[in-house]
Chains A and B, each alone.
Chain A
Amino acid sequence: MNSKHTNTHPESSRSTTFIMFLIFLLFLTAGMYAQQKKLVTGTIYDNTSIALPGVTILEVGTQKATTTDADGKFTFEATVGGTLQISFIGYTTQNVKVDANTKNIDVKLVESAFMLDAVELVSVGYGTMRKSDLTGAISTVKGDDLVKGVISSTEQALQGKVAGLTVLQSSGDPSSGSTLRLRGGTSLTASNSPLIVVDGIAGVDINVVQASDIKSVDVLKDASATAIYGSRGANGVIIITTKGGSKATTITYNGYTGVSEASNQLDMLSADQWRGYVRANNLTDAIDYGGNTDWQKELYRKAYTQSHTLSISTGGEQSGIRTSLSYLKNEGVVKTTQLERLSANVSGYQYALDKALKFDTGIFANIDKWHPLDYRIFERSFNLNPTIPVRNTNGSFTEVGGTLNENPVEILTDRDTQNERHRILGYFKTEAKLYKDLQAVVNLSLEHNATQGNTYKPSFAVLEGRTENGYAQKTYGEYTNAQVEAYLNYNKTFGRHNLSLLAGYSYLENIYKGFGAQRSGFETDLFGYNNLGAGYNYRLGDVYSYKGKSNLVSFFGRANYSFDSKYMLTGTLRRDGSSRFGANNKWGLFPSASAAWKITGEEFMKPTENWLTNLKLRVGYGVTGNQDGIGEYKSLSILGVGQDSYYDPSTGTWSLAYSPTQNPNPDLKWESTRQTNIGLDFSLFNRVTGSIEWYDKQTKDLLYTYQVPQPPYLVGTMLANVGDLSNKGLEVTLNADIIRGDKFTWDVNVTFAKNKQKITKLSNQSYKTETIQSGSLHGLSGMSNTFSQIIGEGYAVGTFWGREYQGLNEKGEFILSEDEKEIGNAQPDFTAGLGMNFAYKNFDLGFTGYGIFGQDVLNATAMMLNDPNRMPSYNIQDDFVGSPIKSAPTYSSYWIEDASFFRLQTATIGYTIPFKESKAKLRVFVLGQNLFVITGYNGVDPEINNTANASDTPGFSDRLSPGIDRFNNYPRPRTISLGLNFTLGN
């Protein structure tokens, strides 16, 4: 898709080379020697056989030089016996001897990893820039470097790859999504997820694109880079560029099949241990049902996954096209869970009118099908007596009655749930060269995302099904984002000055709508969820529909200026207007400025140029916003209908009341983040490259549903912009080619990030908030009014607040401090990623891992399971036998654990079978995922993300309550896959 950009920049470098060439010619005429000359012609290619224009051909020891033309061809009058030096920025320089027989010189240049900065193009939003010219903090991950293996959500492909970007998968459930977080969260209400831009389309669902279709990912971290996205840029921007048509034809097949098992489970008493415990403790009330069941094992299975991706790309000078089709069937290690995805992508480009016009178009579509899981099974699997058999002798499920003691296998089996999501993204981009250096771009796009849910709980299902006498539900929700973006690009080089300007307009319209219906009371279970009308019992809220709309209008501009490729300046400005904002704050302005200095370009750096090949300092400052926390219509005074019904005694019927639903807030606006970033890029000995970033992000006007005095307000809470929050941090990225031999190579990449968050303000003139209780433990027995965390001035989100454990008294009861205090923090001290690749001849070996360190987790699972009153009603953990604890579950620092961990995410070994005479390439590989986790944490998994099982808890927001392990027990799978990559090129 980026062919346009790859074209423009070599053009500009060609013109500078041309000036240099003229200077060379001057020298040339001055000192000409009379030697034997010979006319040599040739073509210079890159390693993929694409002709390279602008390559310099210099005769060593002379000033004679030329450059290749647009087709990579050159003609040169060389001295017989001399040497031609062929050099091009970003490629390893090659020397070719000219002897009497030399006529034609065709050379393939090899890309030099350490000169790439100068040619590598980085997406910066509405355009690209050479990496060497960047002034902002941007990390790039190449498609080939994305995490491999079973990837059920595209976010996972970035795990551990970018310093400062945290990817947390909700659980081991393949249908559960992942959370992205860059440089700490900036919001208490809004999504803290970075803005996703796919092929220039901002705000799309990242999962519309499959990892296999990604060419590169550019992560814009600091405000000077993201301010071009204004009110949506505060959490960073991830720009995904997909693979497009190529000038050569390539057919690729990638496939694998994998087998997964649960990586961990809790050690509960086995039936024999249980019997032993009952005897030893003389528990006369305990009932032995005669079975021998490991209830957790009954939920798990050996899960199989297969994935196939086929892609073809082809094209030429005028046009190119790429298509890909992929299929994934990813079984979860918990029975019935699985994700099935079929996805397709077609994209292409076409030039017209002598390359004055270029069209880019692409369409991505996929269908996901999955079975949602009832997370209540996990708690039951810990509760149930291990002597209960799963099934009775007649084959029916065993039910012993009791509370929280329903047979979890029955819950898994006797439900029929099937969800389906369709995603589609299409765009059509037109680029027109209006005048020499002026280009106009119009990009039209449409994104559509629709989700369907189907549930049936038959009349024999224990939870809900029986009391409802069958329960069926269907839901449908969809949204459409239609976007028009138009902008002008101007790029001019004069002498050593380079100026590029951008000005544009963007209009985005979001429409969401949906409906749902449910019924209960079915005479037969035969219909499942397919005949809702057959249910005789219905309630007022059983049918609903909704629709809403919002729009975002933006004007934006950017100016880049660089002098001598040494001094770079960038300024951006964006003005955003959103229908969601309150009447008094409809428009926001988001400016940024940044500068960079290539220190190694200076004369005084000559003495160190042998080892310090690149040193660049960047400084930037900008203001960005986050408007995600404002839902539609939140600023208005509106009447809702549907929730409130009232009785009309005159007819004995019920009618619907229309009631005001919220406190109107005409001042409602985006959260704004001011960010300062200082970065240093370096490369040493042509082997080690890296960058160090320091940032300071100050967010103000934090959106939160604050407590407001009632009266005078209609309701006791109100969405408003009040608080301040700060994030400061440091990021280090290092890449090293440790060994670079002909047969053996070894490279290492390391990322490191540290972020410190602090809420600095929660009150202002109108709103007074001392602390907000969070981390609700509601839903755990007896914990309805217990909050484990606070959000308060001077603390980070996720601060555990409670009484400190001081020991056990002689009765085995907890001795806890009188006062409540800070007893932990769920935010990590630092995160790190590590990747290594080895290649020996045709073998390759690689592994990637990531770690999160210093975060605390409340092990609420252990807190609830370590209850001396559990036996014989509920089973206990092995560890609890002989435990001195005799207190009922009580929240305190005792249950807070350091959950630092390092996970070996993937390990791969591959062998490429060489086909000498053809361009075909076949690689077979074995890949292991999640082979081990090093941690001191006692729960099932130290990586906690609660979205899956806590969403139904009132007052519980995952964003504000991180690090609570409350039956976080969908184990992450350990997977071994066997796969092959086959490429056929021409």
Chain B
Amino acid sequence: MKVKIIAAILFSTLFTFSCTDLSEDLYDKVADDNFGNTPNEIDALVGGAYSSLRGFSDAISNAYPTCEYVFFLNEVASDEATIPTRGTDWYDGGRYQDVQRHQWKADNGMILSAWRYCYAGISKVNSIIYQVDKSGLTPEAKAPIYAELKAIRAYYYYQLLDMFGNVPIVTNFEDQSLPSNSTRRQVYDFVESELLAALPHLKSNIVYSKMTQNVAYSLLARLYINSEAFIGTPRWQDCIDMCQNVQGHTLTADYFANFATQNQTSNEIIFSIPYDSKAGTLGNYMSSMSAHYLHRFTISPTGDYPWSGNGMSAQPGVYSSFAENDKRRKGMLIGDQINLGTGSVIIMDSGEPLTYTEDIVNFTDAKQNEGVRLAKYEMKAGESWERDHDFVLIRYSEILMMQAECYVRLGSPTLATPFLQQITARAGTEMPATIDLDFINKESLREFTFEGTRRTTNIRFGTFFQPWWEKGSTPAYRGIYPIPATVLATNSNLHQNPQY
């Protein structure tokens, strides 16, 4: 009987001490309220705002620079690039074809991806601001951090202003209410005021890849040069003023130094997204995404080069718009591709030689070798899947070009000459007898081919709405993209951009 009593006692003790604690212990993660108390921790948080620029990877968006599709969307809609469908390859539900023809719809995955890229960055910045708010730093110490974060956020809003126009402005991480659209004008004003407010607190010297005063000035210059397109008010002189504030940058002697594997040494780059193979950043595949699958044999005799995708090509006419002596033309590949192993032309699976052609007979059913390829970013043997090239967002060359354009627009083309001379001298090309907008437009294409800005330039010059290659006239409302269908479906406070 004693034993039974002991058993009963033991059993009831078990019940009495029975654990009901359901709190979660973290081991390899940190709760957000436990972090952000030391300067080092603040640095680690702010670093996240920069890493967000690389984009993210999910079911619809790949972790290519700026989520791949932000780049694709703006390139394929412009007059310089195309993603031809080759057999079944790169058909992908017709999303590139629709953009090529300016017939995109609100459910195009690239449009959603572009939206998410910007708002993921904005939300992240908002959350970091929230962390900094809670931290014990002094207001004086917080001010430059806020300035840096808000200027990065303004960069994202600038992208939204350019692509979508009437987007919601969200700045408070804790506010979970469903936002409604702001007008394009309001977004414009927001970007301008945030950048201007941040300027005094930003670093005035060159700090590679960071949000400095030079970057903020450059962004304001971009905002003002497109002011007429964005809100109908031209601000050419304001653009020139901002450009003149940019200090300390010069053109590199070699144009391609800006796109080399180790391009972080370039003094021309004002703002970029750093990539590094050792840091595990999934990176800048721009060139190999474009090259033919077998292109690797032109890089390594044994074909040891990670993946190429036979994707984006130049629209016919782009290559031939370069003068023969234009050094920048080497940024594109054309003609026979030689197998370093055999010394003869690479033979494709079809048995035909790999010879890139400028012409693309039918971009919805193109041959594997059709189209001139992007080779601006260096491809070299020994590269790993993660690349080292930093993705260039703003170069000093653009500051020069913007000033030249504004002077032409203000009716003083002679004032544009010194800026353009720097650009053409480096390219090894001749200056034209007369500088006009048409020249500026064409020179922009040549100087900034495949740098993700061509769509905006086309819109500013109005050519975007005129027929070209594989599209007819484009109605004015397509100057901005529709709000993505998924976003509209989940937020009833949002309304679609007009006419979509």
Contact = CB atoms under 8 A, between A and B. Distances in A.
Interface of A: 284-287, 353, 356-357, 401-403, 405, 432-435, 440, 442, 466-469, 484, 486, 488, 505, 507, 513, 520, 537-542, 545-551, 553, 577-581, 586, 632-633, 636-641, 644-650, 652, 654-661, 707-717, 767-770, 776, 780-786, 864, 867, 869, 872-874, 888-889, 954-955
B149 to A, nearest CB: 13
Contacts of B210: 649
Given A547-B28, A782-B85, A782-B91, A539 B386 contact: yes
B288 to A, nearest CB: 12
A579 B385 CA distance: 39
A745 B355 CA distance: 76
Interface stretch (B168-176, B221-229, B400-408, B448-456): B168-176
Contacts of B351: 284-287, 872-873
Interface string B148-186: 000000000000000000001010010111110000000
B490 A708 contact: yes
Contacts of A874: 349
Given A647-B279, A709-B494, 4 more contacts: A637-B33, A645-B47, A709-B491, A768-B489
Interface in B6-38: 7-8, 11, 14-15, 18-33, 35
Contact of B93 (A353, A785, A873): A785
B304 A466 contact: yes
B59 A955 contact: yes
Given A435-B4, A888-B88, A547 B27 contact: yes
A472 to B, nearest CB: 15
B179 A638 contact: no
B381 to A, nearest CB: 10
Contact of B487 (A466, A537, A710): A710
Contact of B179 (A488, A655, A711): A711
A473 B201 CA distance: 47
A785 B109 contact: yes
B168 A711 contact: yes
Contacts of B168: 711
A353 B28 contact: no
Nearest to B108: A785
B350 A645 contact: no
B116 A716 contact: yes
A648 to B, nearest CB: 8
A486 B10 CA distance: 11
B395 interface: no
A939 to B, nearest CB: 19
Given A466-B302, A467-B305, A714 B123 contact: yes
A637 B31 contact: yes
A537 to B, nearest CB: 7
Contacts of A486: 11, 14-15, 18
Nearest to B88: A782
Given A549-B25, A707-B489, A786 B92 contact: yes
A551 B24 CA distance: 8
B312 interface: no
B18 A658 contact: no
Given A486-B11, A539-B279, A550-B24, A467 B58 contact: no
Interface centre among B51, B89, B90, B351 (most CB of A within 10 A): B51
Interface centre among A286, A545, A648 (most CB of B within 10 A): A648
A553 B20 CA distance: 6
B490 A712 contact: no
Contacts of A538: 278
B280 A888 contact: no
A710 B92 contact: no
Given A537-B384, A872-B350, A711 B119 contact: yes
B45 A658 contact: yes
Contacts of B173: 714
Nearest to A652: B264
Contact of A656 (B11, B44, B177, B207): B44
B5 to A, nearest CB: 9
Given A657-B45, A709-B487, A638 B20 contact: no
B279 to A, nearest CB: 4
Interface centre among A466, A488, A646, A707 (most CB of B within 10 A): A646
B7 A401 contact: no
A467 to B, nearest CB: 5
B234 interface: no
Nearest to A487: B11
A586 B176 CA distance: 23
Contact of B89 (A432, A659, A782): A782
Contact of B29 (A551, A640, A954, A955): A640
Contact of B124 (A545, A553, A660): A660
A707 B490 contact: yes
Interface residues of B, number: 101
B22 A579 contact: yes
B393 interface: no
A360 to B, nearest CB: 16
B297 A401 contact: yes
B490 to A, nearest CB: 4
B294 to A, nearest CB: 6
B29 A782 contact: no
B35 A646 contact: no
A639 B35 contact: yes
B119 A710 contact: yes
Nearest to A577: B22
Contacts of A661: 29
Contact of A645 (B41, B88, B280): B280
B276 interface: yes
Contacts of B15: 486, 505
Interface string B272-285: 00101111110000
B43 A655 contact: yes
Nearest to A547: B27
A657 B278 CA distance: 15
A284 to B, nearest CB: 8
B60 interface: yes
Q: Which 6 A-B pairs have the closest CB atoms?
A: A285-B351, A955-B59, A782-B88, A785-B93, A646-B47, A540-B280
B127 interface: yes
Interface centre among B18, B179, B352 (most CB of A within 10 A): B18
Contacts of A636: 24, 31
A776 B60 CA distance: 11
A713 to B, nearest CB: 7
B92 A638 contact: no
A545 B489 CA distance: 39
A638 B30 contact: yes
Contacts of A641: 29-30, 44
Contacts of B124: 659-660, 714
Contacts of B3: 353, 356-357
Given A505-B14, A645-B51, A647-B209, A401 B294 contact: yes
B293 interface: yes
A632 B264 CA distance: 40
A549 B45 CA distance: 26
Contacts of A709: 178-179, 487, 490-491, 494
A782 B92 contact: yes
B24 A710 contact: no
A635 to B, nearest CB: 8
A356 B6 CA distance: 13
Interface string B402-427: 00000000000000000000000000
A659 B128 CA distance: 8
Interface centre among B8, B352, B386 (most CB of A within 10 A): B8
Contact of A713 (B14, B19, B85, B123): B123
Interface centre among B85, B95, B347 (most CB of A within 10 A): B347
B296 to A, nearest CB: 8
B88 to A, nearest CB: 3
Nearest to A580: B24
A769 B490 contact: yes
Nearest to B487: A709
A549 B27 CA distance: 8
